[in-house]
Amino acid sequence: MKSGTIALIGRPNVGKSTLVNSLIGQKVAITSPKPQTTRFPIQALYKDERGQIIFTDLPGIFKKAKDTLSKKINRQTINDLEGEFDAVLYIVDPTRKRDFEESRVLGIVRKLQMPKILVFNKMETEDAEYLPQYKFLEDEFDTFFYVSAKKKKHLKPLLDKLFEIMSEGEQTPEEEYVYPAINLDSKTFVSELIREKVFLRTRQELPYTTTVVIDELKERRDGTLYIKARILTTDPTYKKMLIGTGGRSIKIIGMMARKEIELARNKKVYLDLQVEVDKHWMQTLS
């Protein structure tokens, strides 16, 4: 059976994580309208009768990384591209104007010595007004596809092409991982789901100064999954915003997270969620 590894690269918010989730058929990577949602590579396993593909969703490349965390993400993403991949998917978003950030990512892709596939995403919308700015890229790639990750449209031809370039190889045993996310343990998976709800709840109000730490995750005798977690932020003002008036905001974040974790783990969840200030978490994050 065929087996291969595929990297996804693009600037922030082009829909890489949504594309991976849609290709896999279930949620693996968290998504939000904000950049820097993906902070480390997420590896997801796709399988069918032809074999398997391991998709690696890489964090978006920033135009200019200002804070410590963004610099670390950019550096790590570029280093990860030096790994062994059978091909790379270069994802572009024609609903957004081409700029220096896009040019920087394209420059990185041009230097890669592996098969490269161009993917025009977000083609479900009539707002793809900047498509003409990207059309020249079709001449630089042997293969290109127009897809809608959000609507799960036109993904089959892309998968067919990927299997076409795959070679025979060993299959990855599913039972070793939090399938289909093959590089996430249970604590990391849960912390990512909570972090997503933080971003979705705060929208544009809160800068990317938060992370989630899982202190305890265990199944109780009655089958309930007990989770003790902390949302870390860098400033007391942000802590107040996360908690909200009368604790409303943190209750909503907790409710949203608990429901999704219950759906993902198929069991009742008790989530003990707190907010703390840690001015240095960005420096200590590995």
Q: What is the mean pLDDT of the chain?
A: 86
The token pair that represents 268 in the structure block: 């009742």
Q: How confident is the model at residue 265 (pLDDT cuts 50, 70, 90)?
A: confident
Residue 222's Cβ-side half-sphere holds a number of Cα atoms within 13 Å equal to 5
Ordered structural domains, the chain, with CATH:
2-176 (3.40.50.300), 186-284 (3.30.300.20)
At 179, the pLDDT band (50, 70, 90 cuts) reads low
Of 120-134, 154-168, 187-201, highest mean pLDDT: 154-168
Check residue 69 and give its pLDDT: 66
Helix, strand, coil content of the chain in percent (nearest 5):
35, 25, 40
Whole-number pLDDT of residue 121: 95
**Is the separation of the CB atoms in 122 and 47 below 8 Å?**
no
* Among 54, 79, 76, residue whose Cα is nearest residue 65: 76
Question: Could you tell me the pLDDT band of residue 122, with boundaries at 50, 70 and 90?
Answer: very high
DSSP helix/strand/coil, 94? coil
Q: Confidence band (pLDDT; 50, 70, 90) for 282?
A: confident
- Dihedral over alpha carbons 169, 180, 12, 74 (to 10 degrees): -60
Q: What is the pLDDT of residues 80-120, one digit of tens each?
A: 777 688 999 999 999 999 998 899 899 989 998 999 999 99
Our CA dihedral for 98, 25, 81, 161, rounded to 10 degrees, sits at -80
Predicted pLDDT of residue 20? 92
